[in-house]
């Protein structure tokens, strides 16, 4: 049966009531709703009643009810099913349909499930982690054996809930003809993905991070670009740090440029090698210092000298193979043992040692030798002048030697010739 429509009083009516009751015929305009006229009403089996009714406009309805459950065909062509609370059988309030096939067609369908009176709790059980949880029956359950299709033609599909779980026994496919949007929270949330492998096949991949990006794992990390001319750019106003416990290899087939506006420091614990197959140049605006400590390497090196500079012969013999230009004084300081300069093999040499000065022009040629005992000027090992604190000795292959003692003042000639 149609229910009367309760209407809230208008503001003018409510104000009159607040001021005190005063009779106004207009106040009773909607006091009574339209009610039907009963055509027939009779009791049937075990308290069930059948009632037929009709309205003044000619519409009619029929109801079959017992006060708890009802089947109602109202005057608006609606079919109303009402299920009441349980009876003595212990089961009630349910609408059960058991058919071979069912088809529903309607312009719109609205289903509202108010939930179970006890919240759906049926008891307690222990989960896989050993925690005790409440067993709850769902307020709404749909179980389908076989394929299940849900399709909205020309419209949207919206599912809302506190927690939503999609559980696929085999494969979960998310497919869209245009875009897929995933949002966790309004201003912040968390998206967690767990899987054995993650494959991404797309033309472009763009990330916009306001916090940070952190990767942690025990596997490999590889970037393989197959497009010729593809580039990798990293622009950061902060710092970049690499910590490599194994080997670090960089292979560049083109140019390699490194620009540093601050300090540049390289620290190598073991060996350091630099191989340049083209030209090599250095421009230093400040000062430069090279310090070689000669610490014994482990394992020992085959090189015995602490520092070796090996320059090949220039293709043009008249041009120096090694050249030093300086705008000021050049100073060499050997704190011990001295210097030795050698030209070719046994061609010429200059040796500056502790209390010794020796210059040779090659085998069987001239030489100058000075040490703490004497000074010698010789040529070809045949002609020699020896000067020591006690005497001056002159020797020649074609003449006898002459020895002048330091105390002999009889020789006053400034030059002596030996024929």
pLDDT digits (tens, 9 = 90+) for 175-205: 998 999 998 888 778 889 888 888 989 888 9
Distance CA 295, CA 307 (A): 12
Range of lowest pLDDT (80-89, 135-144, 379-388): 80-89
- Nearest residue to 310 via CA among 301, 294, 297, 321: 321
What is the separation of C-alpha 387 from the centre of its chain, rounded to a whole number of angstroms? 81
Q: Which residues pair with 385 in a beta bridge?
A: 377, 394
Q: How confident is the model at residue 287 (pLDDT cuts 50, 70, 90)?
A: very high
E strand or H helix at 12: helix 11-19
Q: Which residue has the higher pLDDT, 398 or 387?
A: 387
CB 56 within 8 A of CB 72: no
pTM for this structure?
0.54
Task: Check whether 4 has a pLDDT greater than 50.
Answer: no
Q: Which residue has the higher pLDDT, 22 or 358?
A: 358
User: What phi, psi does 124 have (nearest 5°)?
Assistant: -130, 150
Distance CA 78, CA 116 (A): 26
Enumerate residues 6+ apart whose C-beta is below 8 A from 272: 266
Q: Is the dihedral of CA 364, 367, 370, 373 positive or negative?
A: positive
- Nearest residue to 309 via CA among 341, 333, 338: 341
According to the model, what pLDDT value does residue 225 have? 87
According to the model, what pLDDT value does residue 15 have? 63
Q: Which residue has the higher pLDDT, 400 or 176?
A: 176
Return the percentage of the chain with pLDDT > 70, whole number: 83
According to the model, what pLDDT value does residue 8 have? 59
According to the model, what pLDDT value does residue 36 have? 80
Q: Quick: pLDDT tens for 8-54.
A: 566 666 565 555 545 555 655 555 556 788 877 777 777 888 999 99
When computed from its CA atoms, the radius of gyration of the chain, rounded to whole angstroms, is 56
According to the model, what pLDDT value does residue 179 have? 92
Average pLDDT value for residue range 267-287: 91
Q: What angle do CA 211, 217, 220 make, to 5 degrees?
A: 115
CB 377 within 8 A of CB 384: yes
Task: Check whether 224 has a pLDDT greater than 60.
Answer: yes
What is the distance between the terminal CA atoms of the chain, rounded to a whole angstrom? 161
Coil, strand or helix at 11? helix
Coil, strand or helix at 197? coil
What is the separation of C-alpha 30 from the centre of its chain, rounded to a whole number of angstroms? 72
Coil, strand or helix at 18? helix
According to the model, what pLDDT value does residue 284 have? 92
Whole-number Cα distances in Å, 39 to 53, 56, 76, 81, 359: 5, 12, 17, 22, 147
Tokens of 153: 């033609």
For residue 375, give the DSSP letter. Answer: E
According to the model, what pLDDT value does residue 30 have? 56
Distance CA 52, CA 38 (A): 6
CB 166 within 8 A of CB 140: no
User: What phi, psi does 52 have (nearest 5°)?
Assistant: -115, 145
Enumerate residues 6+ apart whose C-beta is below 8 A from 192: none
Tokens of 355: 């209390």
- Nearest residue to 366 via CA among 356, 358, 355, 357: 358
Q: What angle do CA 404, 406, 412 make, to 5 degrees?
A: 65
- Nearest residue to 338 via CA among 387, 294, 371: 371
Across 32-51, b (16+ Cβ under 10 Å) vs e yields eeeebeeeeeeeeeeeeeeb
């Amino acid at each position: 049966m149609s229910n009367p429509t309760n209407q809230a009083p208008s503001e003018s009516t409510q104000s009159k009531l607040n001021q005190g009751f005063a009779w106004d015929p207009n106040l009773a305009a909607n006091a009574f709703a339209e009610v039907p006229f009963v055509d027939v009403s009779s009791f049937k089996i075990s308290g069930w009643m059948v009632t037929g009714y009709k309205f003044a406009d000619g519409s009619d309805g029929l109801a079959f009810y017992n006060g708890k459950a009802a089947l109602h065909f109202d005057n608006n062509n609606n079919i109303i099913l009402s299920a009441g609370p349980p009876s003595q059988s212990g089961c009630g309030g349910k609408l059960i349909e058991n058919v071979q096939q069912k088809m529903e067609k309607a312009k719109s369908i609205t289903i509202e499930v108010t939930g179970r009176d006890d919240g759906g709790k049926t008891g307690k059980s222990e989960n896989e982690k050993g925690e005790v949880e409440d067993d709850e029956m769902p307020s709404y359950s749909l179980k389908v054996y076989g394929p299940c299709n849900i399709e909205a033609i020309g419209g949207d599909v919206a599912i809302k809930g506190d927690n939503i779980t999609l559980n696929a026994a085999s494969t979960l496919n998310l497919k869209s003809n245009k875009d897929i949007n995933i949002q966790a929270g309004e201003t912040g949330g968390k998206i967690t993905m767990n899987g054995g492998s993650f494959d991404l096949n797309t033309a472009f991949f763009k990330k916009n991070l306001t916090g940070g990006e952190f990767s942690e794992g025990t596997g490999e990390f590889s970037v393989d670009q197959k497009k010729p001319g593809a580039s990798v750019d990293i622009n950061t106003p902060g710092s970049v740090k690499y910590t490599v416990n194994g080997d670090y290899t960089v292979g560049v087939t083109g140019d390699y440029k490194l620009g540093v506006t601050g300090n540049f420091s390289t620290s190598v614990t073991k060996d350091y090698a630099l191989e340049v197959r083209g030209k090599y140049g250095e421009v230093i605006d400040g000062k430069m210092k090279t310090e070689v400590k000669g610490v014994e390497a482990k394992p020992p090196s085959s090189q015995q000298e602490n520092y070796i500079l090996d320059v090949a012969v220039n293709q043009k013999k008249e041009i120096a193979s090694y050249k030093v230009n300086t705008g000021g004084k050049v100073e060499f300081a050997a704190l011990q043992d001295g210097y030795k300069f050698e030209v070719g093999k046994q061609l010429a040499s200059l040796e500056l040692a502790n209390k010794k000065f020796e210059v040779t022009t090659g085998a069987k040629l001239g030489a100058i030798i000075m040490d703490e005992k004497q000074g010698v000027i010789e040529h070809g090992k045949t002609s020699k002048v020896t000067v020591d604190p006690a005497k001056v000795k002159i020797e020649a292959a074609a003449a006898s030697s002459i020895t002048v003692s330091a105390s002999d003042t009889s020789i006053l000639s400034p030059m002596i010739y030996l024929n």
